[in-house]
Amino acid sequence: MVVRGGRGWHGRVLAAAVGVTAVAAATSVWTAQAGPVEERHARADASAHSPAPGAHSQARGGVPVAADIAHASDRGARGVNITIDDGPDPVWTPQVLRVLRENGVKATFCMVGTQARSHPDLVKAVVAAGHRLCDHTVSHDTTMAAKSQAYQSQEILDAERMITEASGGVRPLYYRAPGGAFTPYSRRLAASQGMRPLGWNVDSKDFERPGTAAVIATVKREISNGPTVLFHDAGGDRSQTVAALREVLPWLKQQGYSFGFPVR
């Protein structure tokens, strides 16, 4: 579930300030590739308090440019970024993949860590089809902006590990906070791990299941707000999403849009 971005989402992404505290060790679970998770969290925490590579002279207010929330498309002014949240789901993700394939569209899949771990075959199918991966945290906690940096670190880094392992080694390139609950710390942390924070401009409202026609109308009405469009492939019955994508994708092409990925 998401907190809605609404109009004028550029520059208004939710960002709750949290106190600067030391990040404690989160767990003692070992992984074959990364070593102790608590050591990995500590290393990432140190990175999160430093500007991302190449951004040393461009930091604004202590947050490096690489940690800015992305909305633009790499296809320019007439580009559209299709983003799919909360999966993968064994029922709906294959159907979404089929519609994307039929229309020749690549998308960004913002995956929940536990879902990725449960369905590694679907994560691999997403990657094999040429789509990109995005870290959507372990548990999709929309209140995480109000919680400790240690908690934020665990949610982001453990999900990154789960998604990477499920994909067979392909890392997520973006981080989308559940409900847009970004903090300066979580943005820096994601950037330090090579993941660009990712917002959205158009909320299709598909999560609420208002009816296929309403989802389509929302996208058509709001696409002038910006290129990044939010859909879902999990969290309940997503038949309206699948049906809406079948109409929206050809319509966007007819309007002269091309499909790309969020800028990195």
195-249 per-position pLDDT tens digit:
999 999 999 999 999 999 999 999 999 999 999 999 999 999 999 999 999 999 9
Quickly list DSSP for 53-112: TT-TTT-BTTB-GGGSPB--BTT-TTEEEEEEES---TTHHHHHHHHHHHTT--EEEEE-
Which CATH number goes with the domain that contains 158? 3.20.20.370
| Tens of pLDDT, residues 139-151 | 999 999 999 999 9
Question: How many angstroms separate the CA atoms of 180 and 264, rounded?
Answer: 18
Residue 10 lies in a domain: no
8 dihedral zone (left: phi>0; alpha: psi -120 to 50; beta): left
Q: Which two tokens mark 256?
A: 């002269």
Show which residues are catalytic: 85, 232
Q: Is residue 7 part of a domain?
A: no
Q: How far is CA 50 from CA 57, 128, 138, 189, 242, in A?
A: 12, 34, 24, 9, 41
pLDDT of residue 142: 96
Contact 193, 157 (CB under 8 A): yes
pLDDT by residue (tens digit) across 173-209? 999 999 999 999 999 999 999 999 999 999 999 999 9
Q: Global pTM?
A: 0.79
Summarize pLDDT for 62-120 with one digit per residue, the tens: 445 689 999 999 999 999 999 999 999 999 999 999 999 999 999 999 999 999 999 99
Q: pLDDT at position 3, please?
A: 38
Residue 152 falls within a domain, yes or no?
A: yes
236 within some domain: yes
Q: Which CA distances in Å does 120 have to 97, 130, 142, 193, 206?
A: 15, 16, 24, 22, 25
Tell me: pLDDT of 27 over 50.
no
- 6 confidence band (pLDDT: 50, 70, 90): very low
The H or E element spanning position 196 is: strand 196-197
What's the pLDDT score for residue 144?
A: 96
Q: Is residue 9 part of a domain?
A: no
Burial of 132 (0-12, 13-18, 19+ CB in 10 A): buried
The verdict on residue 17 lying in a domain is no
Supply the range of the domain harboring residue 38. 30-259
Q: With 90 as the cut, is the pLDDT of residue 37 above it?
A: no
- Assess if residue 184 is contained within a domain: yes
Q: How far apart are CA 129 and CA 6, in angstroms?
A: 31
Domain-located, residue 14: no
Helices (H) and strands (E) in the chain, counts: 8, 10
| Structure confidence at residue 66 (pLDDT) | 83
Domain count within the chain = 1
Q: Which two tokens stand for residue 91?
A: 């029922």
